[in-house]
Structure 1
Amino acid sequence: MKLNDNFVGDLLQAVRASQGKDPAAATAIIQDALRTAGLLPGAPGAALSPAREGAPFVDLNAAPPWAGKARGNAGASGASGASGTSRHAGMRDALAGWAERLGALQPGGTQARSTEPDPRAPGQFLQGESGNAAGTRRYRLYVPSTPATGPRPLVVMLHGCKQDAADFAAGTAMNALAERHGCLVLYPEQARSANGSNCWNWFEAQHQSHEGGEPAILAHMVREVAREHGADAGRVYVAGLSAGGAMAAILAASHPGLFAAVGVHSGLAAGSAHDLMSGLNAMKGSRGSKGRHAAPHSVPVIVFHGDADAVVHPSNGAAVLGQFSGDGKQLRTIEEGGTSAAGRTHTRTTTLDGDGRAVAEHWVLHGAGHAWSGGSPAGSYTDVGGPDASAEMLRFFLQQRLD
């Protein structure tokens, strides 16, 4: 079977549409191209099924090929009679999976969440907006109810795709911990106009530098909030989940003098990708390029990643760790296992510097997927089985301070 002459052009058009934050259009273009080429069954224009309620958290794509063969097998059914199927089976399955993953960008599929306030966090949960020449973003800010006795630590929390600031606050329960420890917590919120799935654009080169794009917007927001609310400039920390974790890594790499530590949950190293396709490859664990921030940084880092993560390959957790703890100053590592109260086992590897100070922690969560460990069911994309990533990150953060 000869592929349609416009096939490659149609796919490139789909990539451009997806990079323009129009995933529905991208999906339709890809499906039409696949069907015209005889690589995807079904009548032209048939829509993909929307994401299921309670489906695993998706970040650019749903479960990729290494998670199993169910998607590829499903794509193969109904097309066995087509001429040349055996020659194009691999391409058909891969591209059909790609189309389905782009389809998963469409609204829907988030878990139900509670809108009730957390009684453990009786402080103010303010709303605000911050902007500079690079752009403007909204945010939520938690201010503890107890009066400050001095400059407070500031924790910046970056949500994942299909989340918002309030949802991420509810799921991580970081506000309750902040109330207990007297911290400010800033939740920047991605604009739908910047990314149709509310993903931080970690995979685009223009959003990976100190000077412009989303890192510049976020760094400006952090400085502005820290100044207005009396935060301690030596105790500013950044953490995130998935796309938010990848952007947290970019912020720490591009602004090392702003953050005393970084926490990355189910995310990727800074510079792992430069566009949509390299982003998808990075999520699969491909390391074809070292990226623009590949040089080691001395920012203390804590990493959480499930070894059964079918969205962002677990090897990305190790890449983050190496990016921020590879400056040669470490003396030794300590590896220990543990089990949460809910039965989730993990392995924690702690890296110590020459003074015996913990400068890196790598938590491998055995059997865990792509969700915030130990989170609350009040928010989306959480794994209540633990261990409590919020508590462990905050513990690690409060041990770190910029000189």
Structure 2
Amino acid sequence: MGRKPASIGEDRLSDLTGLKQNPGNLRARKYVPEGLGAGAPLVVILHGCTQDAASFDIGSGWSRLADRHGFALLFPEQKRENNSNLCFNWFTAGDTQRGMGEAASIQAMIAAMRAAHQVDPQRIFVTGLSAGGAMASVMLATYPESFAAGAIIAGVAYGCASGVMQAFDCMGGRAREEAAELGARIRRASPHKGPWPRVSVWQGSADAVVVPSNADAIVLQWTHVHGLPPRPDRTETVEGHPRRVWDGPDGTVAIEEYLITGMAHGTPLDPGTGAGESGEAGAHMLDVGFSSTDRIAAFFGIAPPPPAKAEAKAGAKAKAGGRKPASRTAPAPRDGPQAVIDKALRAAGLLR
């Protein structure tokens, strides 16, 4: 889209002004490629604990993908006065209800982006990691009319916790609920009666912070809302990673779930600048040879699907320190991204 390439690690975001309300006291940042015209898509991106908007953009590569394919980005950002570890407060009742707190602030930011940049109201999407993934669940539930689709990475089902102690059980997979109750939580969260957003769910099989059963709960929640059966229409393996798919009545994918083999807690990436490659590896941003950024953009319908890669390349990345197959309970390196997140969550009182 004509913007001069930025150096590695550069903050490419600018502040969004014009908010009419901000009850959650969040910072608003954005990225709009040069020359972007009216009617472009908008992606709302929610960072994880210990991150900020700029670091998440650098790691995930969303702004560079926006340059290539022409869409705007909104980055709500947490402040330390709200949460000392920069986690979105997905477990606080006052921040997870329609018209209140952080959820209302994010909705107000979307309205400001619509006014300032004339984005397409029918092509607004939301995605996030960890606490940001949990807040993406909140936004899809409380403002479903605003989103065509969403993607939740290492997140939790909406309504999983309404306090710190419940958050322990939620992340540890101990807050089990039936499909009917999970679906009812979304239906009670807003007056919306459908159609409902499509949902993409991403989870590491070796995640010990937000355990894999949380992905199952998210899927169960949204299949119930969509009126789809628990059993997927098809199960496949994509470059070594299981993918389950539920089709909607029109034949398009309504819900998909990726379980990333051997991955701990973080965003799955395939760093680089080639087709199907995005981002830079770092804390919370894991090089597994498989780009969630590119595949989520394709699921949203705002970028082409990544080209198929040879298994040899994925194997080479694994030997170089990228994807390392492991069991669901495999320990993470003491100084790796998992340890960074564990330390932050313990400091925030969200992990024992």
Q: Which amino acid aligns with 1:249?
A: S
1:320 Cα offset (Å)? 1.2
Q: 1:122 to 1:370 in 2, by over 3 A?
A: closer
In structure 1, what is the equivalent of residue 185 of structure 2?
294
Is 1:270–1:293's contact at 8 Å kept on the other side of the alignment? no
Q: 1:270 to 1:293 in 2, by over 3 A?
A: farther
Note the aligned Cα RMSD (angstroms). Answer: 2.6
Q: 1:208 to 1:295 in 2, by over 3 A?
A: same
Is 1:154–1:183's contact at 8 Å kept on the other side of the alignment? yes
In structure 2, what is the equivalent of residue 270 of structure 1?
158
The size of the alignment, in residue pairs, is 278
- Whole-Å separation in 1 of the counterparts to 2:262 and 2:127: 22
- Whole-Å separation in 1 of the counterparts to 2:214 and 2:260: 14
- Whole-Å separation in 2 of the counterparts to 1:291 and 1:354: 21
In structure 1, what is the equivalent of residue 211 of structure 2?
313
In structure 2, what is the equivalent of residue 186 of structure 1?
74
- Whole-Å separation in 1 of the counterparts to 2:65 and 2:22: 34
- SS of equivalent to 1:274: coil
Is 2:205–2:212's contact at 8 Å kept on the other side of the alignment? yes
In structure 1, what is the equivalent of residue 235 of structure 2?
335
Q: Which amino acid aligns with 2:234?
A: I
Q: 1:219 to 1:253 in 2, by over 3 A?
A: same
Q: 1:399 to 1:181 in 2, by over 3 A?
A: closer
Q: What do the CA deviations read for 1:67-86 (whole angstroms, capped 9, x no partner)?
A: xxxxxxxxxxxxxxxxxxxx
Is 1:372–1:389's contact at 8 Å kept on the other side of the alignment? yes
Match of 2:245 among 329, 350, 354: 350
- Whole-Å separation in 1 of the counterparts to 2:183 and 2:21: 24
Q: What do the CA deviations read for 1:344-403 (whole angstroms, capped 9, x no partner)?
A: x31111111122111111001111110100163365311111311001111111279xxx
Match of 2:202 among 287, 304, 310: 304
State whether structure 2 residue 22 is matched by structure 1 residue 127. Answer: no
In structure 1, what is the equivalent of residue 84 of structure 2?
196
Is 2:207–2:264's contact at 8 Å kept on the other side of the alignment? yes
The alignment's TM-score, normalised by the length of structure 1, stands at: 0.64
- Whole-Å separation in 2 of the counterparts to 1:327 and 1:163: 31
Is 2:61–2:280's contact at 8 Å kept on the other side of the alignment? no
Q: Which amino acid aligns with 1:125?
A: L
Match of 1:384 among 287, 306, 320: 287
Q: 1:322 to 1:309 in 2, by over 3 A?
A: same
Match of 1:367 among 257, 262, 279: 262
Q: 1:295 to 1:397 in 2, by over 3 A?
A: same
In structure 1, what is the equivalent of residue 341 of structure 2?
none
Is 2:47–2:128's contact at 8 Å kept on the other side of the alignment? yes
1:147 Cα offset (Å)? 3.8
Q: What do the CA deviations read for 1:128-154 (whole angstroms, capped 9, x no partner)?
A: 354616243222211112442x41100
Is 2:36–2:71's contact at 8 Å kept on the other side of the alignment? no
- SS of equivalent to 1:294: helix
* Gap regions ≥5 residues in structure 1: 1-116, 340-344
- Whole-Å separation in 2 of the counterparts to 1:187 and 1:221: 9
In structure 2, what is the equivalent of residue 398 of structure 1?
301
Q: 1:258 to 1:281 in 2, by over 3 A?
A: same
In structure 2, what is the equivalent of residue 220 of structure 1?
108
1:328 Cα offset (Å)? 5.2
State whether structure 2 residue 143 is matched by structure 1 residue 243. Answer: no
The structure whose Rg is larger is: 1
- Whole-Å separation in 1 of the counterparts to 2:9 and 2:54: 13
* Gap regions ≥5 residues in structure 2: 188-193, 272-278, 304-352
- Whole-Å separation in 1 of the counterparts to 2:11 and 2:41: 15
Match of 2:31 among 139, 142, 149: 142
- SS of equivalent to 1:272: coil
- Whole-Å separation in 1 of the counterparts to 2:262 and 2:99: 39
Is 2:12–2:31's contact at 8 Å kept on the other side of the alignment? yes
- Whole-Å separation in 2 of the counterparts to 1:121 and 1:192: 22
- Whole-Å separation in 1 of the counterparts to 2:8 and 2:59: 14
1:123 Cα offset (Å)? 12
- Whole-Å separation in 2 of the counterparts to 1:132 and 1:295: 24
Q: 1:147 to 1:312 in 2, by over 3 A?
A: closer
